[in-house]
Structure 1
Amino acid sequence: MQSTTHPPKALKGAILSITTYLVLSVLKVVFGYLYNSEAVLADGFNNTTDIIASIAVYIGIRIAALPRDAEHKYGHAKMETLAALVASLIMVAVGVFVLLNSIATLIGGEYVEPNPLAAVVAFVSALVMFGVYAYNSRLAKQTRSLALKAAAKDNLADAMISIGATLGVLFAYFKLPWMDTVLAVLIAGMIIRTAIQIFLDATHQLSDGFPPDLVDSYEETIQHFDAVKEVREIKGRHLGNHVMLDVTIAVEGSLTVEEAHDLCDDIERELDEHHAVDTVHIHIEPV
């Protein structure tokens, strides 16, 4: 069955992320230095790597949309998952960099009180990223793009990180300058945590992991057909933003080839309409 998704549409979200991160990273790095804010500066460095990660997502979505060829009979859909994997590794590298720098500052005990204006920069950045997250999250659901879903998670994490940076500057303003650096450590932890979650999701799908609860829901749908006497096996896998199923069902041996073929078509149509399953391979056995 043909896919109902539109991968190129997901590119809008990737382009929005790249553009937003490009602007915000420059602003936060500049103002972080000017206003002496470790947290805002850490947030800005995080955004610079988000640019690279978003470019990886963009490339992954572009390649995933390519048609099948002689060497890729199943298409290029897994490139979306690979893009999410690359993005997670980049995020881990930045998180570790920010963490080590912040810990060094804590150990050294050299704190500089940040300018309160840094809080304004961080807060405005948080509002912008919440907006980007809402857009990309909605678009990821519409297109079923796994790479864009990972990007949306990154957007949300960045919004929360900017909120943390805002609080860090405010704490410093109330004569607690060390809190700015402490929050920079927490920001680094959030970056690493989000990256690990994305990494685990990507590797789970690349190793053909599939949620058992989805398999159960597919089986329930198939068993609603009277002609299906038994669902003997269902195997599912993700190909990027596509779902592929291998199903074995038992039917009465008296069914004609045409009747069995029509039954398979009906099952495929039902799975596509109710569960957005792109491709179903059905093997029929007699009871």
Structure 2
Amino acid sequence: MEEQQYNNLKMGEHGAWVSIIAYLVLSALKLIIGYLTASKALMADGLNNTTDIMASVAVLIGLRFSRKPPDEDHPYGHWRAETVASLIASFIMMVVGLQVLYNAGKSIVDFRVETPDLLAAWTALGAAAIMYGVYRFNRNLARKINSQAVMAAAKDNLSDAWVSIGAAVGIFGAQFNLPWLDPLAAVIVGFMICRTAWEIFREASHSLTDGFDEQELARLRKTVENIRGVKMIDDIKARAHGNIVLVDVVIHVDPRLNVIESHRITEEIEEKMREEHGIMNVHVHVEPWKE
């Protein structure tokens, strides 16, 4: 079981590397072309990608740290390191998003706007297509290995694709004697960066504070209730621990059952959780049923 989870984390690192390589190339390309073509929107997009490099590196470090085996200080392992990495990535993205908003807003207020060359627009569109491909790769990988950090990276990839499209629209619009559309697109880019950062922060902080989806918990309860021999569920709790889910459930069974028979019920619960929900870590406490 743990070997499979460690293998999943190792696979998750591939997604982080794909993002890092894509961001390294695209950020350099956007910043250079944005500077040469006087495009505020494309330069803002390029700055966004530089933060994405740092965020992806944070995710990579988190995934590698999660693979460390349990020790005296971490008897449950280091699985939450990838969630912490997602949180750090959100902070980095928010700082840059606010910086982009400040610079773009200042350009509009100071009326320091220029009409950018169309090369900037085509660069932004090409970058959007590349980032959408990276998003699809990381999204599928995150679903396969059930990784919160890789899914956060995928959401960032998709956000970057939309940011590049928004930059392209602003640059194209600036060609029609509306040069202020380019810095305006940069403002929109800044808001989109901040929005993505907030969504990743909210999800990571919810997980780190042991929050869990109520609807998913209800589905887990229904699975246990349908097990033969379970008279009642006294309590059921679940929490995300990195890319794994931990479930604690208290059930009531017929008091006339012996230890072996009661144990068979707990084994069936564990098997159903594994088959129907992909949950490998279930702790079942058995109590006698009182009519």
- TM above 0.5, one fold? yes
Match of 2:138 among 136, 139, 152: 136
Partner of 1:194: 196
**Could you tell me how far apart the structure 2 residues matched to 1:225 and 1:238 are?**
24
Give 1:285 deviation, angstroms. Answer: 0.7
Distance change >3 Å, CA 150–CA 53, structure 1 → 2: same
Amino acid at match of 2:31: V
**Could you tell me how far apart the structure 2 residues matched to 1:261 and 1:248 are?**
13
Partner of 2:207: 205
How is 1:67-82 mapped onto 2 (pairs within 5 angstroms)? 67-82=69-84
C-alpha RMSD of the superposition: 0.9
Amino acid at match of 1:133: Y
Give 1:71 deviation, angstroms. Answer: 1.4
Equivalent position SS for 1:255: coil
Q: Does 1:43 align with 2:51?
A: no
Q: Does 1:19 align with 2:21?
A: yes
Partner of 1:83: 85
How is 1:85-164 mapped onto 2 (pairs within 5 angstroms)? 85-164=87-166
**Could you tell me how far apart the structure 2 residues matched to 1:133 and 1:123 are?**
15
Normalising by structure 2, we get a TM-score of: 0.97
Partner of 1:252: 254
Give 1:198 deviation, angstroms. Answer: 0.4
Partner of 1:167: 169
* Number of corresponding residues: 287
Contact 1:2–1:279 (8 Å) recurs in 2: no
**Could you tell me how far apart the structure 2 residues matched to 1:219 and 1:125 are?**
45
**Could you tell me how far apart the structure 2 residues matched to 1:263 and 1:7 are?**
32
TM-superposition CA deviations, 1:250-285 (whole Å, max 9, x none): 100011111111111111011011111121110011
**Could you tell me how far apart the structure 2 residues matched to 1:260 and 1:243 are?**
24
Contact 2:124–2:168 (8 Å) recurs in 1: yes
Amino acid at match of 1:93: V
Q: Does 1:270 align with 2:272?
A: yes
Equivalent position SS for 2:73: coil
Contact 1:49–1:94 (8 Å) recurs in 2: yes
Q: Which segments of 5 or more consecutive residues in structure 2 lack a partner in the other structure?
A: none
Match of 1:59 among 61, 86, 89: 61
**Could you tell me how far apart the structure 2 residues matched to 1:3 and 1:279 are?**
13
Further displaced range: 147-156 or 271-280: 271-280
**Could you tell me how far apart the structure 2 residues matched to 1:123 and 1:278 are?**
43
Q: Which segments of 5 or more consecutive residues in structure 1 lack a partner in the other structure?
A: none
**Could you tell me how far apart the structure 1 residues matched to 2:262 and 2:3 are?**
23
**Could you tell me how far apart the structure 1 residues matched to 2:94 and 2:135 are?**
20
Normalising by structure 1, we get a TM-score of: 0.98
Equivalent position SS for 1:182: helix
**Could you tell me how far apart the structure 2 residues matched to 1:70 and 1:226 are?**
39
Q: Does 1:220 align with 2:184?
A: no
**Could you tell me how far apart the structure 2 residues matched to 1:62 and 1:104 are?**
40
Equivalent position SS for 1:237: strand
**Could you tell me how far apart the structure 1 residues matched to 2:22 and 2:227 are?**
49
